[in-house]
Amino acid sequence: MQVPDGKRWLAACALMVAFAVQGAPAGRRRALLIGINDYSGPAGTNVRGVSDREWADLRGAVRDAEGLREILVRRYEFAESDIEMLTDRKATRSAILAALARLATQAHAGDTVVFHFSGHGSQVKNSHSDEPDRMDESIVPADSRLGVPDIRDKELGKHFNRILDRGARLTVILDSCHSGSGVRGLATGETARGIKADLRDVKDASAAGRRPEDRGALVLSAAEDLGLALETVDEEGKDRGAFSWAWMHAMRAAEPDEPAMETFFRARARLGVMSRHQRPILAGNTGARQRPFPGVQSGRPLSRTTMAVEALRDDGTVVLQGGWLNGLTIGSELRPLGREASRVRLEVTALTGLVRAEGRVVGGDITPGSLVQLVSWAAPPGRPLRVWLPRTAMSAAELTRLAQAVAEDAARRGIRWIADPTVTTPTHLLRWNGRTWELLSAKTATRRTASEAGAALPLVSRNASLFVQWPVPDALGQRLVGDAATRRLRTSEARGQAPEAAVPIVTVDRAEEADYILAGRFDQAALGYAWVRPLSTAADRAESALPVRSEWEKPDVPRAVFALAKTVERLQRVLAWQLLESPPGTAYEYRLAVRRARDRELLTKQIEGGDSYGIALRIRPGQTSSAASRYVYIFLVDSFGRSTLLYPRNGSVENFFPLPHGAAQGGTRPPAEIALGSPQAFTAVEPYGADTYFLLTTDEPLGDPWILEWDGARPRQSGGKTPLEQLLVNVGAPDRSARRFRTAANWSIERMVIESMPPLERRTSP
The confidence score (pLDDT) of residue 486 equals 41
pLDDT in tens, 211-221: 888 886 777 77
Dihedral pair phi/psi, residue 181, rounded to 5°: -100, -175
The confidence score (pLDDT) of residue 488 equals 41
Distance, in Å, from the CA atom of 248 to the CA atom of 325, rounded to the nearest integer, reads: 8
pLDDT band (50, 70, 90) for residue 207: confident
Q: CB within 8 A of 94, min separation 6: which ones?
A: none
Highest mean pLDDT among 205-209, 404-408, 619-623: 404-408
What secondary structure letter does DSSP report for 693? E
Q: 426 and 373 in one domain?
A: no
Q: Decide if 4 is inside a domain.
A: no
The confidence score (pLDDT) of residue 275 equals 65
The confidence score (pLDDT) of residue 50 equals 60
Q: Decide if 20 is inside a domain.
A: no
The confidence score (pLDDT) of residue 614 equals 93
Shortest CA distance to 168 belongs to which of 114, 102, 107, 213? 107
Highest mean pLDDT among 20-29, 138-147, 658-667: 138-147
Q: Which residues of 669-707 are buried (b: 16+ CB within 10 A; e: fewer)?
A: ebbeebebbeeebbebeeebbbbbbbbbbbeebbebbeb
The confidence score (pLDDT) of residue 19 equals 36
Q: 316 and 237 in one domain?
A: no
pLDDT in tens, 516-533: 999 999 998 999 999 999
Output the CA–CA distances (angstroms, integers) from residue 229 to 106, 115, 116, 223, in the order listed: 32, 18, 15, 6
Q: How many residues does the chain have?
A: 766
pLDDT at 482 exceeding the cut of 90: no
Distance, in Å, from the CA atom of 727 to the CA atom of 517, rounded to the nearest integer, reads: 29
Shortest CA distance to 443 belongs to which of 180, 95, 205? 180
Shortest CA distance to 348 belongs to which of 325, 318, 387? 318
Shortest CA distance to 208 belongs to which of 271, 154, 159? 154
What secondary structure letter does DSSP report for 132? T
Output the CA–CA distances (angstroms, integers) from residue 655 to 289, 492, 645, 710, in the order listed: 32, 41, 13, 21
Q: What is the CATH number of the domain that holds 362?
A: 2.40.10.170
Q: Answer whether 268's CB lies under 8 Å from 256's CB.
A: no
Q: Which residues of 651-665 are buried (b: 16+ CB within 10 A; e: fewer)?
A: ebeebebbeeebeee
What secondary structure letter does DSSP report for 471? P
Angle at 41 (CA atoms; ends 40, 44), nearest 5 degrees: 110
Q: Decide if 11 is inside a domain.
A: no
Shortest CA distance to 115 belongs to which of 254, 278, 295? 295
Q: Answer whether 415's CB lies under 8 Å from 454's CB.
A: no
pLDDT at 460 exceeding the cut of 90: yes
Q: 259 and 127 in one domain?
A: yes
Q: 640 and 555 in one domain?
A: no
The confidence score (pLDDT) of residue 40 equals 85
- The rounded mean pLDDT for the chain is 83
pLDDT at 465 exceeding the cut of 90: yes
If one counts the domains in the chain, the total is 4
Q: 460 and 359 in one domain?
A: no
Mean pLDDT of 35-57: 72
Q: 332 and 431 in one domain?
A: no
pLDDT at 4 exceeding the cut of 50: no
Range with lowest mean pLDDT among 153-162, 184-193, 493-502? 493-502
Shortest CA distance to 320 belongs to which of 282, 288, 366, 274? 366
pLDDT band (50, 70, 90) for residue 689: confident
pLDDT at 637 exceeding the cut of 80: yes
Q: Answer whether 141's CB lies under 8 Å from 36's CB.
A: yes
Distance, in Å, from the CA atom of 618 to the CA atom of 312, rounded to the nearest integer, reads: 45
Q: Decide if 297 is inside a domain.
A: no
pLDDT at 263 exceeding the cut of 90: no
Distance, in Å, from the CA atom of 70 to the CA atom of 528, rounded to the nearest integer, reads: 48
* Amino acid occupying residue 143: D
Radius of gyration of the chain (CA): 27
Identify the domain boundary among 259, 290, 321.
290
pTM higher than the cut 0.75: yes
| Higher pLDDT pick, 712 / 200 | 200
Q: 234 and 185 in one domain?
A: yes
Identify the domain boundary among 530, 550, 577.
577
| Higher pLDDT pick, 700 / 669 | 700
Shortest CA distance to 373 belongs to which of 397, 410, 348, 409? 348
Q: Decide if 24 is inside a domain.
A: no
Shortest CA distance to 431 belongs to which of 470, 396, 387, 473? 470
The confidence score (pLDDT) of residue 3 equals 37
pLDDT in tens, 73-120: 888 889 999 999 999 999 999 999 999 999 999 999 988 888 999 999
Q: Which residues of 114-138 are buried (b: 16+ CB within 10 A; e: fewer)?
A: bbbbbbbbbbbbbeebeeeeebbbb
Q: Which residues of 464-490 are buried (b: 16+ CB within 10 A; e: fewer)?
A: bbbbbbbbbbebbbebbbebbbbebbe
Distance, in Å, from the CA atom of 587 to the CA atom of 568, rounded to the nearest integer, reads: 31
- DSSP per residue, 695-758: EEEESS--S-GGGG-B-TTSPPP---SSHHHHHHHTTT-TTGGG--EEEES-EEEEEEEEEEE-
pLDDT in tens, 369-394: 999 999 999 998 878 889 999 999 99
The confidence score (pLDDT) of residue 388 equals 93
Mean pLDDT of 474-502: 52
Q: Decide if 373 is inside a domain.
A: yes
Going 184 to 187 to 191 to 195, the CA torsion angle's sign is positive
Q: 681 and 702 in one domain?
A: yes
Q: Decide if 682 is inside a domain.
A: yes
Distance, in Å, from the CA atom of 612 to the CA atom of 514, rounded to the nearest integer, reads: 38
Identify the domain boundary among 527, 559, 577.
577
Domain membership of residue 655 as a residue range: 586-764
pLDDT at 501 exceeding the cut of 50: no
pLDDT at 643 exceeding the cut of 70: yes
pLDDT at 9 exceeding the cut of 90: no
Going 347 to 351 to 354 to 355, the CA torsion angle's sign is negative
Output the CA–CA distances (angstroms, integers) from residue 722 to 583, 698, 702, in the order listed: 16, 12, 8
Q: 315 and 337 in one domain?
A: yes
pLDDT band (50, 70, 90) for residue 272: confident
pLDDT at 32 exceeding the cut of 50: yes
The confidence score (pLDDT) of residue 351 equals 93
Distance, in Å, from the CA atom of 519 to the CA atom of 419, rounded to the nearest integer, reads: 11
The confidence score (pLDDT) of residue 480 equals 81
pLDDT at 301 exceeding the cut of 60: no
Shortest CA distance to 330 belongs to which of 315, 314, 346? 346
Distance, in Å, from the CA atom of 310 to the CA atom of 356, rounded to the nearest integer, reads: 10
Q: Which residues of 182-201 are buried (b: 16+ CB within 10 A; e: fewer)?
A: bbbbbbbbbbbbbbbbbeee
* Amino acid occupying residue 373: Q
Q: 239 and 105 in one domain?
A: yes
Q: What is the CATH number of the domain that holds 216?
A: 3.40.50.1460
pLDDT at 176 exceeding the cut of 80: yes
Residues of the chain with pLDDT > 70, as a percent, come to: 84
The confidence score (pLDDT) of residue 737 equals 52
Q: 537 and 518 in one domain?
A: yes
Strand 169-175 and strand 112-118: the pairing is parallel
pLDDT at 495 exceeding the cut of 70: no
pLDDT at 762 exceeding the cut of 60: no
The confidence score (pLDDT) of residue 348 equals 95
pLDDT band (50, 70, 90) for residue 25: very low
The confidence score (pLDDT) of residue 81 equals 94
Q: 442 and 528 in one domain?
A: yes
Q: Decide if 3 is inside a domain.
A: no
Q: Answer whether 468's CB lies under 8 Å from 522's CB.
A: yes
pLDDT at 7 exceeding the cut of 60: no
Q: Which helix (H) or strand (E) holds 563?
A: helix 557-578
